[in-house]
Every structure is written in structure tokens, then in C-alpha cells.
Amino acid sequence: MQKPPLIPSLIVLAFVILMINLGFWQLDRANQKTDLLVLLADDNITKVTDAKQIKTLPQYANVNLKGRYLSAPQLLLDNQIDNQVVGYHVFTPFLIEGLGTYIMVNRGWVAKDKLDQRDFSVQTDTIVLQGKLNHSPQVGIQLGEIELDKDQKIQVMTYFDRDKVSKYLYENLCKDLSCIVSHRVLLLEKNQDQGFKREWQPVVMPPEKHIGYAVQWFSMTFVLIVLFVYWVSKLKD
């Protein structure tokens, strides 16, 4: 029996392994999206009483935080589009009571042409905030570096550099080593005061689409194997 050529066999094997892995990756993404949709529909609210919860709770978990806003610094994330209008997302630091932990609160979107610095002021009394935990906003390509000035109470950022923002807040807000600056942010709920326009529903590809992509990868794998076997069988003739 004639053996199939080595190089074509290795190429086919590599493609088979790749496409099977892509198929299982899509199935895994489908499971993740299912869990995310369940979480987004969950109305349960977790009262945060331990700093570890900020790290361990899943993305979009509903939480209650007791503490107070700080009047400065206010960080404005530039180039945020809403209905084709350019504006900012307003981030304000919030100190969680009893935990020594600061978290940035995204208070929502405001149009750039309606910018009034007086609108960014906050009450610094102790309050209870409700919102969704989220990762800090990221961009695919970062052009240049952001510069944060400790003397500026209101600053504009072209993108949210998580590490640089955390370091800046730690250096300007923390007084001792027990202080914590969270890498996560809180998306302020619509019914909360001292906020701007808030539309937090993320665009989520449904799990069915990922399953469909997985079926396509597995189908192409099957077709490739059939064609390869057919080709090998013809080599005997």
C-alpha cells in the first residue's frame, strides 16, 4: 500500500487540528455568552463588604457600594460616540467605606458641545451606589500616551490606560500601604443620582451564532478529511 506524501499529509493534519480547535473555541464562546446573558438578566444585587469581592465578582455583576465620591480628579474619556454625537464618559473616584478601596465610577456620557465643568461636581456625603462591575474600557490600538497632571481637577483622556490611571490615583489619593485602587470600574445604574446619560446594555453576539460557526468549522474539517482520503486513494491507481 502506497503511503501518502509526507508534506501534504502534514499540511492537512495541521489544518485539521486548527479547524477542530477553532470549532471548540466557538463552542466555548457560546457557553461564555450564555453565562453572560444569564448574568445580565440577573436582578440580584451583591452588597460589597470585602475588597476581594471587587476582584472576584463576575463582569456585569450588580453591586451596592457604600462610601463617598471624591470631588477630584474627574477623568473624561474622549471620543465617545452616542447617536453620532461626540462626547465624554465621566469617571469619578469613589471611596468604599471601611475597605480603603477606591474604584472609578463611570457616571455616563455627556456631549462635548454641552460641556460645563460645573456639571461634574459631586456631593461628597456618604451614600450607597448601585451599578454593574466592569473592566476598564480598552482600545485596540493606543496612539501615543496619556498624561495625567495631579494639579488638574478635570482631565481629558484619549483612552483609558488602566495601569497609568491606577498608579495616578494611588499616588494622589492613597495615604498608606493598606490603600487599594481597583482596576475595575462601576457602571452607574440609571436610577442613581449625580449621573449623565447611561446606556450600559452591551452588544452581545448570541450563543446560537457561535454554535453555527462551530458547526461550520467541524463541517469543513470533515470535508477536508474526506477529500484527503479520496486523493490518497487515487494515488494507488
Print the SS3 string covering 116-162. CHHHHCCCCCCEEEEEEEEECCCCCCCCCCCCCCCCCCEEEECCCCH
Same domain, 163 and 50: yes
Same domain, 92 and 179: yes
Confirm whether 28 is domain-assigned: yes
* Per-residue pLDDT reduced to its tens digit, 93-135: 999 998 989 999 999 998 887 666 667 888 889 999 999 998 8
Confirm whether 63 is domain-assigned: yes
Determine the pLDDT at residue 236.
66
Considering the entire predicted model, what is its pTM?
0.73
Determine the pLDDT at residue 35.
74
Same domain, 98 and 172: yes
- Is the per-residue pLDDT at 212 higher than 90? yes
Domain of residue 15, residue span: 6-37+211-235
Q: Structural domain tally of the chain?
A: 2
Same domain, 63 and 162: yes
C-alpha to C-alpha distance for 203 and 184, rounded to whole angstroms? 20
